[in-house]
Amino acid sequence: MSLQAFTDRLLRIDGVQHYIFVRGDGHILAHNVREPSALSSLIAFSGHSCDAIRPLIGTTGFHYITFSCTGRNHFYIFPVRRHFLGIIQHPDAYPPDVIEGVSRLLQNILSRKQG
């Protein structure tokens, strides 16, 4: 799947308002946000921090991070192999639906790559 096709599919998920897709080093690959550079640092730092915390609490697989905001435009970070995907949800969206929609799309893509 091309990057364009991937971002098109992301935006078709109910509740996804903005996205930013970055490499592990924070380099931006695609986005539709206003201030991508601040977000890319946040995403890369948070993603790597979650990986670093994992052994400290004795757990495996890191699934995602949620920044819950009082304005309900919650921000999510998903690991995608050596990349990270940041999602800002629409304030009216139901968070579990957004998380499930994005997780399903990522699983779909990753399992296709493995197959």
Partner 1 sequence: MKQILEEIRPVPGVIGGFIYTPREGIRASSLPTVFKTPKLENIGKFVARMFSLGRTSFPDILDLSLYYEESLLMIRELDHGIFLILLGDPSLNMNLLTMTLNLITDDLSQFTGTETPESAPEGDTTPSPEADRALPAEGPLADLLRKMEKALTGVIGPMARILFQDAQNDWVRQEPPAMETLPRLMEILQKEIDDPEKFRDYRKRIDSLTGTEERQYLWRGAARTGGS
What residues numbered 4-43 form the site for partner 1, per CB under 8 A?
25-26, 35, 38-42
Residue 14 or 51 having the CB closest to partner 1? 51
Cα atoms found within 13 Å of the Cα of residue 18, Cβ hemisphere only: 14
Whether 9 and 25 have beta carbons less than 8 Å apart is answered as no
Q: How far is the CB of 107 from partner 1 (least distance, A)?
A: 14
Q: How far apart are CA 94 and CA 106, in angstroms?
A: 19
Say which DSSP state 54 is in: H
Q: Is 69 in the site for partner 1 (CB under 8 A)?
A: yes
Task: Write out the residues near partner 1 by the rule CB under 8 A.
Answer: 25-26, 35, 38-42, 44-46, 48-50, 52-54, 56-57, 59-71, 73, 75
